[in-house]
Structure 1
Amino acid sequence: MSGAQSIDCHLKQPVLDGVRVIELAGIGPAPFCGMMLADHGAEVIRIDRPGANVEEQQCDVLLRSRRSITLDLKRPESIEIVARLAETADGLIEGFRPGVAERLGLGPETLMQRNPALVYGRMTGWGQEGPLSHTAGHDLNYISINGCLAALGQDGKPPMPPLNLIGDYGGGGMMLAFGFVSALLAARQSGHGRVIDCSMAEGSAALMAGMWSLKHNAMWEKEPSQNLLDGGAPFYSSYACADGKLIAIGAIEAQFYARFIEALELGDDPLFAAQLDQENWPKMKVRLGEIFSSAPREAWTALLQHRDCCYTEVVTMAEAPEHNHNRARGSYVESGGWMQPHPAPRFGETKVVLPKMWQRDADRENILAEVGMTDPDWITTS
């Protein structure tokens, strides 16, 4: 070798290997947090509830790679099992309304007396306090009080629900996973755990930080669907092709815009001369819509894919695993016959924990043995 240091190419263990997490069964954001932790090597023990609706689902990707035990939390014996498990764990996550965990005897004060280093993650829509904290809601409600939903309106129409990606998963589960790992690092340094108050309303508000920057710099002043990133800009939008399939253009920077209009032979068209002239955006958008509707998506991909002008096809969920980029990276994997996203993000030279599909109550006997208990008749109910 010419003086260069050799690189250790041995696969390293997953980044959360050795971390144990107790997850009290819920839906949406808390299970997504559990999935993220399990995807990266944490041992996640899910406490399932008897007769929960999730049992009826053939496949739940959010619950992959868990260990599972079903417990009736109305029974004191079950509460003791969870408390014993918490003594052995690095953290616990729950998605109850404020006060429910305390009434069950599983609140942070109780469990952290038994395990002072426990990281206790709380996932709610509104937070543990505040006028709305005890009221019902879903993703759409949580993103409606922070400007997020309003910004998604299109052409004067009420905004369409953005699936439940922003509140449940981005501002909720992902934010809780970040909080959990941050608190875990602090606990390992200090020996003291933390309580994480993760509010989907506040988490999704944090996702709007960039929009606040645009607002403060007079770049987000018009009605929804008339601004730079909300579909108002003709060079940052999606279009229908002749075959009904869709494409996306994200040519914001001047160099990408120049390549884009050059490829479409619009470089000499005065309508497209001033990229940031918002007065012309509606006309530019109509013209581009007419152009793209004149040929099938395959033709536009052949013309634009290699122009480095921020062009992509808009693929469906069914098409996504077969997209050439996704296939090359292995961005989707199959487990138990079910196609699903590969764990993300990736870590260099790190062993990937491939998903294993969740099986309800599959680990009951082993989990009980780990806390010095056997399997009594009352442990599960139908």
Structure 2
Amino acid sequence: MALNGVKVVEMMGLAPGPLCGSLLADFGASVTVVQKINPTPFDVMSNGKRMLSVNLKTKEGVNVVKKLCSTSDVLLDTFRPGVMEKLGLGPEALMKENPRLVYARLTGYGQNGFYKNKAGHDINYVAMSGILSLLSKNKQPPTPPLNLLSDFAGGGVLCALGIVLALFERTKSNKGQVIDTSMTEGAAYVGKWLFKSRELPIWSGEPGTNVLDGGFACYQTYKTKDGKFMAVGALEPQFYSELLKGLQLSEEEYIQGDNNEYCKEKFQEIFLKKTQEEWCKIFEQLDACVTPVLNVEEVDKHKFRASDTSFHRDENERIVPEPVPKLSRTPGISSGRKPLPVPGQHTIDILHELGYTKAQIDKLIESEHVYAIRKSNL
């Protein structure tokens, strides 16, 4: 795979950090997760990674991480600014020992922002990015977009991009560098087109009244007879014409962009007369940009996705998306196909690889500087 041979150390954090590590693992990187002795119970992203349980409150535990980083390519720091420095694991210390280390920092507000020491979640970061102000309708309070924009798109994905960019640059300079990924700035950057397009006529009205934010009848979701939904994205005239053909409506009466509320009400009325499957059969024959809204629990089994290779089921029958983008020579292989490791599962193996003797490993375990689920048989 493309990142084969790249060694990543991931300091376990919440969702965006594990996603970043998972993306790298999906494309071949060897990712070691440094957990606390009492790890988070919310870990669902460590498939395909190795688990090292360390007591970061002891000098001996910190030294294990230092030694691990001395032979690694990437460190993913998911703590608040200053925490790693207090542990003696800041970039200055680690990069002095390993100048080729790519030190990636992933935080809510960045290392130098006004709120850098403030706690926050996706809703706060996307709010501070300016993007949340656009996710409103009928002058109601903005709706949080799950935790997709800041945590995952602006955080995990952009941090992974930064790591790959730094690794590429390292091939020329032979030097590592520090990456500062702010989820707030990341959400804004993902929305770069939204910032640059403010003067276009598609944004002439209040949030929720425009073409792309639910204001137009031709770009909307509609409920079906069986309580499911269809998504309509018939923006261009040729697609809108096909939409009306499927709904058996007159183009003279339902003019695109004219009297949107009237059109919406009529579209709602008609979509409620048939099931989602019936509408799928109708629009399967028409190029109208009309698709079913697939349920996240069934997206891999829908008959219109039967030949798709976008998902697989893990050992617990949970749906897992396959790696994207798809590379022709070195495609990724989903780490989600592997079982979720347990805390301390790989501690002894990793310590042995770092050069610790059996006696040293036993002492680290007995002194609770590290945690392992089995005794060394070395």
- Normalised TM-score (structure 2): 0.91
> Residue in 2 aligned with 1:363?
346
Find 1:132's aligned residue among 99, 111, 115: 115
Distance change >3 Å, CA 325–CA 50, structure 1 → 2: farther
| Contact 1:23/1:93 (8 A) holds in 2 | yes
> Residue in 2 aligned with 1:5?
none
Distance change >3 Å, CA 306–CA 90, structure 1 → 2: farther
Distance change >3 Å, CA 289–CA 253, structure 1 → 2: same
Residue 346 of structure 1: how far off its partner (Å):
1.5
Matched, 1:346 2:337: no
Report 1:243-258 matches (<5 A). 243-258=226-241
User: C-alpha deviations, 1:304-345, integer Å up to 9, x for none?
Assistant: 123121111111111112023543122222232342222222
Residue 167 of structure 1: how far off its partner (Å):
0.8
> Residue in 2 aligned with 1:306?
285
User: C-alpha deviations, 1:128-172, integer Å up to 9, x for none?
Assistant: 012211111100000002221121112332222211011100111
Matched, 1:53 2:40: yes
Query: Residue 312 of structure 2: SS of its match in structure 1?
Result: strand
Alignment gaps of 5+ in structure 1:
1-13
Matched, 1:91 2:74: yes
Residue 352 of structure 1: how far off its partner (Å):
4.1
Greater alpha carbon shift after TM alignment, 131-140 vs 340-349: 340-349
In structure 2, how many angstroms separate the alpha carbons of the residues matched to 1:136 and 1:164?
15
| Contact 2:228/2:276 (8 A) holds in 1 | yes
User: C-alpha deviations, 1:225-275, integer Å up to 9, x for none?
Assistant: 1111111121111110111111101111222122111222224342x22x2
In structure 2, how many angstroms separate the alpha carbons of the residues matched to 1:333 and 1:255?
36
| Contact 1:116/1:193 (8 A) holds in 2 | yes
> Residue in 1 aligned with 2:375?
none
Find 2:175's aligned residue among 175, 180, 192: 192
Find 1:182's aligned residue among 155, 159, 165: 165
Find 1:263's aligned residue among 246, 270, 295: 246
| Contact 1:20/1:90 (8 A) holds in 2 | yes
- The AA in structure 1 aligned to 2:33 is R
Matched, 1:33 2:16: no
> Residue in 2 aligned with 1:10?
none
- The AA in structure 2 aligned to 1:380 is V
The alignment of Structure 1 onto Structure 2 pairs a total of residues equal to 361
- The AA in structure 2 aligned to 1:27 is L
User: C-alpha deviations, 1:174-202, integer Å up to 9, x for none?
Assistant: 01000110011111210111111100100
Q: Cα RMSD over matched residues?
A: 1.7
Residue 381 of structure 1: how far off its partner (Å):
5.4
In structure 2, how many angstroms separate the alpha carbons of the residues matched to 1:323 and 1:156?
36
Alignment gaps of 5+ in structure 2:
373-378
- The AA in structure 1 aligned to 2:184 is A
Distance change >3 Å, CA 133–CA 286, structure 1 → 2: same
In structure 2, how many angstroms separate the alpha carbons of the residues matched to 1:332 and 1:325?
13
Matched, 1:276 2:257: yes
Residue 221 of structure 1: how far off its partner (Å):
2.8
Distance change >3 Å, CA 370–CA 202, structure 1 → 2: same
| Contact 2:2/2:27 (8 A) holds in 1 | yes
| Contact 2:58/2:369 (8 A) holds in 1 | no
In structure 1, how many angstroms separate the alpha carbons of the residues matched to 2:19 and 2:129?
22
> Residue in 1 aligned with 2:376?
none
- The AA in structure 1 aligned to 2:9 is I
In structure 2, how many angstroms separate the alpha carbons of the residues matched to 1:230 and 1:160?
12
Residue 114 of structure 1: how far off its partner (Å):
0.7
Matched, 1:76 2:76: no
- Normalised TM-score (structure 1): 0.90
Find 2:302's aligned residue among 323, 327, 340: 323
> Residue in 1 aligned with 2:3?
16
- The AA in structure 2 aligned to 1:105 is G
> Residue in 2 aligned with 1:292?
271
Matched, 1:149 2:136: no
Query: Residue 19 of structure 2: SS of its match in structure 1?
Result: helix
In structure 2, how many angstroms separate the alpha carbons of the residues matched to 1:352 and 1:142?
30
| Contact 1:237/1:250 (8 A) holds in 2 | yes
- The AA in structure 2 aligned to 1:71 is V
